[in-house]
Amino acid sequence: MVVKRLVPMSVAKVAAALYAVLGLIFGGIISVISFAGRALMPDSGDAGMAGMFFGAAAVIILPIFYACLGFVGSLLLTALYNLVAGWVGGIEVDVA
């Protein structure tokens, strides 16, 4: 079987969901590091609170940011794949 064409919107939706999950994981890691850093720092006033706010916001902002970039990137790359696959014949897949 040869994959000659992919539906760009379908690939982009799946990629956006996958990148959102990755963004949630990375946002969680950044949040934990931010809160741990704040707990280990001596009292630094407003600077420490800004770091904690960034850590909490990372859980919200990074999944959205990753999903948007993953959507646009995969949409463009899928369209490019369709163009190139028309020239060279696509990817051969052996389904057992």
User: Is the separation of the CB atoms in 27 and 61 below 8 Å?
Assistant: yes
pLDDT for the residue numbered 48? 60
pLDDT beyond 80 at 90: yes
Q: Which residue has the tokens 């969680």?
A: 28
Q: What's the pLDDT tens digit per position in 14-45?
A: 999 999 999 999 999 988 888 777 767 676 56
Read off the pTM: 0.79
Q: What are the pLDDT digits (tens) for 39-86?
A: 676 765 666 666 667 777 888 999 999 999 999 999 999 999 999 999
The beta strand positions in the chain, using DSSP E, are: 2-3, 91-92
